[in-house]
Amino acid sequence: MAEHVPNATAAQETGWAALIQCVAILTPKGREPSKVSAHKHSVPMGGALHSAGLSELRLARLLDAPQPMRRTLSIRLCRWLAGSEQNRFNLVTLGRFILFRNESTDRKIAREYYGADARKRQSQDKETTTDA
């Protein structure tokens, strides 16, 4: 952070600290050579949240939270995700969510979440139709 944002304000430092903490929580521990990064560009954050079982209510609270609360909620969310199989996703979106109050990032996460939900419902409908 010191290299990329040398004149950061206190609020920016707090945001970066939260983001770094989230990445550390999601990163597998140990010195195993098979250890992989927590960042997986091809997995959308909203889709990972849906796959992990995050409720719509919790998603709404997360997206509606004021900036200081987003940091706290994001850390809690990453602790929860770290114990699931959905602990690898696009961390760029997480960074934008934590660091900037940006409506387009919020909409992107919501679109990804509800897109994953729609795909899941469609596959369930297909299974029900073929079983009948």
Classify residue 66 by burial, with Cβ atoms within 10 Å: 0-12, 13-18, 19+.
exposed
Which tokens in the block code for residue 73? 């909620």
Parse the chain into domains and list their residue ranges.
11-24+39-131
Q: pTM value?
A: 0.85
- Per-residue pLDDT of the chain (132 residues), as tens digits, is 677 677 878 878 899 999 999 999 999 887 777 778 888 999 999 999 999 999 999 999 999 999 889 999 999 999 999 988 888 999 999 999 999 988 999 999 999 999 999 998 888 777 666 655
With helix as H, strand as E and coil as C, how does 91-130 read?
Answer: HHHHHHHHHCCCHHHHHHHHHHHHHHHHHHHHHHHHHHHH
Contacts of 108 (CB under 8 A, 6+ apart): 44, 46, 93
